[in-house]
Structure 1
Amino acid sequence: MIRLSASQRSGLVGAALLAAVLVAVGVATLYFGSRYQIRLVYSAYVNLIVVLGLQVFMGNARITNLSHSAFMGIGAYAAALCVTPENIKKISLPAAPWGLADFSLDPVLSAAIAIAITAVLAFLLGLFIVRLTSIGATIVTLAVLVIVHAVFLYRTDIFKGNQAFFGIPQVFDLAWVVGIAILAVIVCRLFRESRWGIQLRASADDEVGAAAMGVEIYKLRLIAWVLGAVILAVAGICYAYFLGTISARPFYFNHVFLTLAMLILGGMRTVTGAVLGTFLISFGLEGVRYLETGPVLLGIELPEALGLSGIALGAVIVLTMAFRPTGIMGNREIETLFARKTF
């Protein structure tokens, strides 16, 4: 019988509360949302999985990671290359090397292969990244993002660059991504409240002191790095399995800053912050995009303001870092809010 610590039990309570929120939003969207709103909410849940994968490493090791969209892209492309039917790949990838256009696998096996490839690549990169200082690690992760994007962009015989890689079977719907997001929340909370997560956060606060107490800092960072990459690969698979088409453009700087803003706003130190920040920005940006079109409000015709969403996103990052560096939630998880109200 597995015995959970008090912090892990608390983490499961918090995960259950967050799961209830995720289910409520998903059910309301399925029953009352339009087709466009369902796509919008699906995208929000995919971004949530990305932010959770980012939080596992950044939130616990306190090292900025700018390569997360690259790992999402690796998962998406690896799954797409495996699952897309042969006849479609022979049309879209006529010059594909290594027999990539000559086979097709079922979605489950394709997803497993994509996750395994991402985990191996993350492990090999992590062996170097976890030994760097915070600034050095951040620069290296940025380099990884640029390198992976360049491969996606210029190996058109495999990835088709900015052109659409089409024909991917549409396997997932909103119910699927809600379930996967809940699983990701549970994994992230259990890791955060585990002995590994607690030691990793302690080493982020005092690396010298933690090392003196016998904490294996590099090992813990590597575990968090690889776990985060696996979650990011799952997000990429969810993205590809819903849209049925992907390209290199979504897995680059715009997506990096979008998901970073979500984590920063909610609070990178908690899983609850990741969920809160994702929903606030995902739905808030829709209102900003509406204002960009120059709508009529209260009889007043507003001018078009193209680029307003980018300005709003930058303002969120700047203002949060200036006035609330730990984000809205700080170090608090959702169950602590309920506990305070109880007493």
Structure 2
Amino acid sequence: MRFLPLNSAQRQGLLGSAMLSLLILAIVGAYYLWGESYQARMLYAVFVNLLVVVGLQVFTGNANITSFSHAAFMGIAAYVAAICVTPIAMKAISLPDAPWGLNAFELSALSAALLALLITGLLGLATGLFMARLTGVGVTIVSIAILVIVHSIFLYRTDIFKGNQALFGIPKIFDLPQITALVIVAIFIARAFRESAVGLKLRASADDEVGARAMGVDVFKVRLIAWVVGTLFFATAGIAYAFYLGTISARPFYFNFVFLTVSMLILGGLRSVTGAVFGTLMISMGLELVRWLETGPVISGIKFPEVLGLSGLLLGVVIVAVMAFLPRGIMGNREIEDFVKRKR
């Protein structure tokens, strides 16, 4: 079996992915060396967000089209995996009225995850068939509609999704090592997609759609591929979310989470996988600092007042400031390996 040689961009993509992976491993290593036990949950949440933001970069970043439906796909995968993996005895309590025999079977963790990926991928394909034909604000509006529709189903089909109540009894399957491995794999896949022929054509169509079509680019096809790949990233994040917490509800998969992850991508830079990683880490650290300030801490003997809602204000300020002063984000089109080349 012969393998095609990698071109220069693909080799640089592997280098950049390896450098970002070392950064992720360094963060995890620092936690194991100096972190407290409660910080594992925080770091896990950061990595779940990172999976989503990297998935956002695959479509939104390369196509330069804003979508807000990612929380819906994440929620679908989380619920599918959770319902399938939860023991029958526990579902008899948490889902006593579930239709179609959903509370009468139990799958292994691997089977539940694969089924969640399959269902979410098929839904991504079905929605992508018309999302890929839309442009500009049309994609944004329809993606919001998808988010609202899915969230409404979560709320009103209480016999399946429990609405605002929690679906509990999900066994804890993942921990920090598993989510770390998923993040590293996701980074390599996102960079490979960005430097692939499909990614190059997608970015070309984002810069000049008419010119790309004139050069023979099938814009519908490349957008559809990116859309489906992105939904699989969101599904992976949803599965990881459900397999760690042991309980899920519809509330996290809505606008607050959408704005959080979009802010991370905007800050880092839409067109860069490195930007997606940096933006996620920076806002995550910033939010932890803000949440600490919200509690009214004592600093140098001075008691500061409680300021609830400061984290939401921070996200709004980040979006406005970045769009006003850094419209391409911190990284722009650059990747982490570009700094190494510049030093050389």
TM-score normalised by the chain length of structure 1:
0.99
For residues 293-319 of structure 1, what are the alpha-carbon distances to aligned partners after superposition, in whole Å with 9 as ceiling and x for unaligned?
111112221111111111011100000
1:253 aligns with 2:258: no
Could you say what secondary structure the match of 1:96 adopts? Answer: coil
Whether 1:98 and 2:100 are equivalent positions in the alignment is yes
Q: Flag structure 1 segments of 5+ consecutive residues without an equivalent.
A: none
Residue 322 of structure 1 aligns with which residue?
Answer: 324
**What is the identity, as a one-letter code, of the residue corresponding to 2:232?**
V
**Cα offset, 1:31, TM superposition:** 3.0
Which position in structure 1 is the counterpart of 2:264? 262
1:285 is matched with which residue: 283, 287, 290? 287
Report the counterpart of residue 225 of structure 1 in structure 2. Answer: 227
Match of 1:196 among 191, 195, 198: 198
Task: Give the SS at the match of 1:171.
Answer: coil
Displacement of 1:134: 1.1
- Residue in structure 2 matched with residue 50 of structure 1 by the alignment: 52
Alpha-carbon distance, 1:4 to partner: 1.7
Is the counterpart of residue 136 in structure 1 residue 138 in structure 2?
yes
Contact 1:15 1:185 in 2 (8 A): yes
Matching residue of 1:302:
304
1:263 deviates by 0.4
Q: Over residues 258-309 of structure 1, what are the superposed CA-to-partner deviations in whole Å (9 max), with x where a residue is unaligned?
A: 0000000000110000000000011110100111111111222111111111
How many angstroms apart in 2 are the aligned matches of 1:143 and 1:31?
45
**Deviation string, structure 1 residues 136-176 (Cα, Å, up to 9, x no partner):** 11000000000000011110100101111111111111011
The yes-or-no answer on 1:25 pairing with 2:27 is: yes
Question: What is the alpha-carbon distance in structure 1 between the residues aligned to residue 34 and residue 73 of structure 2?
Answer: 34
Match of 2:118? 116
Shift of 1:83: 0.5
What secondary structure, in the 3-state scheme, does the structure 2 residue paired with 1:120 have?
helix
CA distance in 2, matches of 1:300, 1:292: 14
| Alignment correspondent of 1:63 | 65
Shift of 1:36: 1.5
1:332 aligned partner = 334
**For residues 173 and 269 of structure 1, what CA distance do their matches in structure 2 show?**
30
* Paired residue secondary structure (1:20): helix
Q: Deviations over 1:210-233 (max 9, x none)?
A: 001000000000000000000100
- Counterpart position of 1:152: 154
CA distance in 1, matches of 2:35, 2:171: 24
CA distance in 2, matches of 1:134, 1:265: 20
Which sections of structure 2, spanning at least 5 residues, go unmatched?
Answer: none
Cα RMSD after superposing both structures: 0.7
Distance 1:148 1:249 in 2: 12
Please give the secondary structure, in 1, of the residue aligned with 2:100.
coil
**Counterpart position of 1:178:** 180
| Offset of residue 338 of structure 1 | 1.1
TM-fit CA distance, 1:30:
2.4
Which secondary structure state, in structure 1, belongs to the residue aligned with residue 161 of structure 2?
coil
Cα distance in structure 1, aligned partners of 2:296 and 2:266: 29
For the residues of structure 2 that align with 1:134 and 1:126, how far apart are their CA atoms? 15
Separation (CA, whole Å) in 2 of partners of 1:303 and 1:101: 48
TM-superposed deviation, 1:32: 2.1
Amino acid at match of 1:325: P
Structure-2 separation of matches of 1:113 and 1:196: 26
- Look up the SS of the partner of 1:249 in the other structure: coil
- Whether the 8 Å CA contact 1:30–1:38 is kept in 2: the answer is no
User: Deviation of residue 335 (structure 1)?
Assistant: 0.3
1:205 aligns with 2:207: yes
Question: 1:37: which partner in 2?
Answer: 39
For structure 1, which segment, 295-304 or 69-78, has the greater mean C-alpha deviation from structure 2 after superposition? 295-304
